[in-house]
Structure 1
């Protein structure tokens, strides 16, 4: 399968018509026609940080894995320890490559002893499916691609749980982070996961594709603010979350990042490559005025030592922030120069994340 439809056009989520009615500005993203903003990135970003917003993430892929070898298969093709994952829990995980790098970074949800649900990045659906089906041939496990069956709406923000609780048939407030459970929301059957990609609390709402627009409209009526890809990117950047294709890829050593905890002491596909020491390190940078973008060179003592992987003006902090991959031997400097259109701008190294929500 590909992310383009049979005519070669951009694919559309079940919420495409709703985005057009809301006046969203649409852009191509990973083969999909997606909303980049509605009222504006700054307002949408603020809504998620201060109250609650919602994102259409129905372009993400969903695979189901069942059978007596489901756990053994997934243990082999991932780096985190699935044996610790209880039914009703979700786990962030990696699909390591056969020759290094990552095939993808994913979320896995355990439904029962021999049934798992997996969410993969939209641009990697076809690649992940080919990779997993090839590896599954050695196991008594059945893979099902359910990507077209689901609508997925991420409801994020400090007031997300309280807003959803008013319309849910189960106690959401008591659910812990990474909980995964069935419920009814506005009377519609859903699966809810207390996960997200913004640095805030929230729930991801899995709903049947044919009911996704009804769910979206109900959430709008309940006061949720629609947010697009622009705010999603600034939110995840502030929270220091890597994005596949930027901080992770087939060719980037995943332990360049701060996510070393995702690799547990077990045998898995590509272990020999993970065990090699990375030659680069992901660092956080702040600048005074000039936002920097992916690909901009990072210099130290007149030499290029790396490049920007993600960068933007931080709406919450009010100044530019960026993540960069730099040579390990150059990763401990206090300041660097980032080249922007032939001119160097000073950038200071800071610890990730740039923003962390206050404990309540």
Structure 2
């Protein structure tokens, strides 16, 4: 895997005995010796620490930054207040996904876009090409930026003594800037697990020190380093989309059950015309959640659904104790309680469409 990219924390992962894998061109930890189940439960019950330094960071600034991003992305940028974040996307003219992203509003003239690692280079080109006629500056800050994610109900308890920011004052999908024991950081209260938690953005060179400081500080609360394996089961339980699975350049925002990121009333945006037409007659297929009815049947990503469509993500749920998944299926088979059949190794295995998210924390 010598040709893969590495985050500033690669040596730390190796020292901890992590099993490293290729993830979108990055050599990343799948799991540590504690195992995926222990890491999953640590995030649900205590706190886990993820390396997310592979994510891409794109800064957009200038006098036309706000109207540019309001046209480029489907969510309501003009309605977003400084210090707040929303989920949005880079959409094609067909209303399908170039990528999903988190948009941070620093001011009306400055924004931070956090994009998926595997799409970061493509996203940067996409944004720059469409910015050519606008008075904006597009800066790629990915290499200079480190990022770790502290996730779980004890995240605030671990992080608060280390920073000069009032973490309780940061709302969900909000952020603030300050110091992490003197290191300048941006702390965002978001996550990809369904739990409360924080992303800590810092200078890339200080990422190993931030990581080690958090590991040491969180040890009394049961903090575990956590890898991609449990990140996937956690985000699946919370029904959080993964590019290349629930969303891609062939799946529209309406099909992916992401109408919440669409603000048709704000005016024109890329993909609006196609999505408005699809909304008028309704999509032919939609994303649903399901559970397998036989205990031994485990649906996996991209397996066929015999009624039409396919599994986008599937795995055993450590929290629920059953085998779950998400699937794109024809609307006729999308109602709650509907029975579908997943083809597993040539067998038709029954499943039931159930409400999502599969897991939601108490607030």
TM-score normalized with structure 1 length: 0.94
Question: 8 Å contact 1:186–1:218 — kept in the other structure?
Answer: no
Q: Within 5 A, what are the aligned runs for 1:1-360?
A: 9-38=3-32, 39-223=34-218, 224-265=223-264, 266-277=267-278, 278-287=283-292, 288-289=294-295, 290-299=297-306, 304-332=307-335, 334-359=338-363
Moved over 3 A (4+): none
Give the Cα separation in 1 of the matches to 2:357 and 2:334: 16
- Identify unmatched segments of 5+ residues in structure 1: none
C-alpha distance in structure 2 between counterparts of 1:146 and 1:170, whole Å: 23
Deviation at 1:21, TM superposition (A): 0.4
Whole-Å separation in 2 of the counterparts to 1:86 and 1:185: 24
Q: How far apart, in 1, do the equivalents of 2:161 and 2:25 lie?
A: 36
How many residue pairs get aligned? The number is 349
Alignment partners' CA distance in 2, 1:84 and 1:23: 46
**Aligned partners of 1:305 and 1:327 also within 8 Å:** yes
Contact residue 18 and residue 213 of structure 1 kept, 8 A: yes
Structure 2 CA distance for aligned equivalents of residues 280 and 36 of structure 1: 32
Q: CA–CA distance in 2 between the matches of 1:77 and 1:31?
A: 27
Question: What is the CA distance between 1:330 and its match in structure 2?
Answer: 2.5
- Residue 329 of structure 1 and its aligned partner are, at CA, apart by 2.6
Q: Aligned with 2:301: secondary structure? A: coil
Check whether the contact 1:62–1:145 (CA below 8 A) recurs between aligned residues: yes
SS at 1:148 equivalent: coil
Deviations 1:134-176 (A, max 9, x none): 1000100000000101111010001101111122212112321
Q: CA deviation at 1:324?
A: 0.2
| Alignment partners' CA distance in 1, 2:226 and 2:321 | 19
Q: Is the contact made by 1:162 and 1:173 (CA closer than 8 Å) also made in structure 2?
A: no
State the alpha-carbon separation in 2 of the partners of residues 110 and 97 from structure 1. Answer: 23
Distance in 2 separating the partners of 1:254 and 1:112: 27
Residues 227-274 of structure 1 deviation map (CA, whole Å, 9 limit, x = unaligned): 000000000000011111100001111211222111002210121222
CA distance in 2, matches of 1:110, 1:9: 35
Structure 2 stretches lacking a partner, 5+ long: none
Cα separation, 2, equivalents of 1:19 and 1:276? 48
Q: Secondary structure at the match of 1:297?
A: coil
Instruction: Quote how far apart the aligned CAs of 1:99 are.
Output: 3.7
User: Displacement of 1:276 after TM fit?
Assistant: 3.1
For the 8 Å contact 1:63–1:117, the answer to whether it is kept is: yes
